[in-house]
Amino acid sequence: MIRALVARLRQKHRTIAYPAVVPELPDRWRCRPVIAADLCVDGCRACADVCPTGAILTGSTPPLIDLGRCLFCPECAAACPTGAITYSRDHRMATRGRDDLIVGDELRLARALDDAALRVFGRSLKLRQVSAGGCNGCEADVNVLSTVVFDLARFGVQFVASPRHADGLLITGPVTRNMEAALRKTWEAVPTPRLVIAVGACAISGGPYLDHPETLNGAAAVVPVDLHVPGCPPHPLTILDGILRLLDKLPPT
C-alpha cells in the first residue's frame, strides 16, 4: 500500500488544464491541410493525383479539400511542386454537417446543440462506442479520453457499456457489411432523443476503404450523424473539442 502511494506521488498530477490551456501538438503533427492560394498553380493536379482517397477536389484554384476523406498523410504536401500545401497544427476540425468538411479557406466548426437538446445532454452525456470496421487507431485515441490526461468525465461525458444506458453512439470504422445489422440494432437500443458522433475518416467517408463493396462508406449509410470528427485517427484533442463544442462547453469560433 505504502509503495502504491509513493508511486502515485512520483507519477504526479497529469490531467491537462484544457480547455483553459490548450496543449501544443508535436511540431510535425498534421492537422488540417492548408493551401496557399498565391502559390497554387492553375491546372496543376499533382496533389490530387497522389491523394489516396480523392480528398482534393480540383474544380477551383486552389482546390477544396474534403476533410472527411483526408487521411492527413504527407503525400499531397510532398507532391506539391510549389510547396503550397502545409498542415496546420490547429486541432479544431469537428463539424456538424458533412458538407462543412469540404473546405477552402474557412472551416465552419461544429455549432452547439439547440437549447432543447442541451437541456437533455448538456450536463451529462453517456456514449456507447461502436467499432464497425475500425482499425483500432480511432478506438485507441477515443479510449485515451478516459485516461487521467484528458479525464473526459470532468466534462460530464462518459462511455457506458450498454446502449440502453447511452444518450448516443460514437462510431468508428467504415461500417462493414458484416457490422451493419449490429450497428443498426445498437442504435435502435439507444433511447430517444439520441446523438451520433462519427469519428475518423472511415466513419465519415469510408477512408481508405472508400467504395469497397465490403463496406458502406461510413456511419451515415446506417444512422443519422450529428457530429463529424475528421482524422486518421483524429488527435484525442480533436475529438474532445468536437464533443465539447456540441455541448456548448467551448467558446464559439
Partner 1 sequence: MMPIANGGRVSLREVPQLPVERFREEIVAAVGRGGRLSAFFGRPDGDGTLLLALLSSGETSGLAAVSARVGDAYPALTPDCPQAHWFEREIHESCGVTPEGHPWLKPVRFPRGDVGTADFYRVEGPEIHEVAVGPVHAGIIEPGHFRFQCHGERVLHLEISLGYQHRGVERGLVGGPDRRTMPYLETLAGDTSIGHASAGALVIEALAGLAAPPRADALRGVALELERLANHTGDLGALAGDIGFLPTAAFCGRLRGDFLNLTATLCGSRFGRGLVRPGGVLFDLDPTRADGMKARLANTLRDTTAATDLLWETATVLSRFEETGIVTPAACAELGLVGPPARACGLERDVRYEQPCGIYRFRQIPVSTWSTGDVLARANVRALEIQRSAEFVAALIGSLPEGPLRTPTGALAPDSLAVALVEGWRGEICHAAVTDDRGRFAAYRIVDPSCHNWTALALAMRGQEISDFPLCNKSFNLSYCGHDL
**Interacting residue ranges for partner 1, rule: CB under 8 A:** 3-4, 7-8, 10-11, 14, 25-30, 49-53, 71-75, 78, 87, 129-144, 146-149, 159, 161-163, 173-174, 176-179, 182, 186, 202, 207-209, 212-215, 232-233, 235
Q: How far apart are CA 223 and CA 25, in angstroms?
A: 32
Q: Cite the DSSP H helix spans in the chain.
A: 2-11, 46-50, 75-79, 115-121, 137-143, 177-188, 201-205, 236-246
Q: Which is nearer to partner 1, 37 or 181 (CB)?
A: 181
What is the smallest separation between the CB atom of 12 and partner 1, expressed in angstroms?
Answer: 9
> In whole angstroms, how close is the CB of 70 to partner 1 at the nearest point?
11
Q: Which residue has the cell 455541448?
A: 247
Q: How far is the CB of 3 from partner 1 (least distance, A)?
A: 6
* Cβ(215)–Cβ(175) below 8 Å: yes
Residues 6+ apart with CB under 8 A from 116: none
Under DSSP, is residue 176 helix (H, G, I), strand (E, B) or coil?
strand
Q: Which is nearer to partner 1, 136 or 253 (CB)?
A: 136
3 state DSSP class of 46: helix
Judged by beta carbon, residue 100 or residue 142, the one nearer partner 1 is 142
Nearer to partner 1, 168 or 207 (CB): 207
Q: How far is the CB of 173 from partner 1 (least distance, A)?
A: 7
Classified as helix, coil or strand, 130 is strand
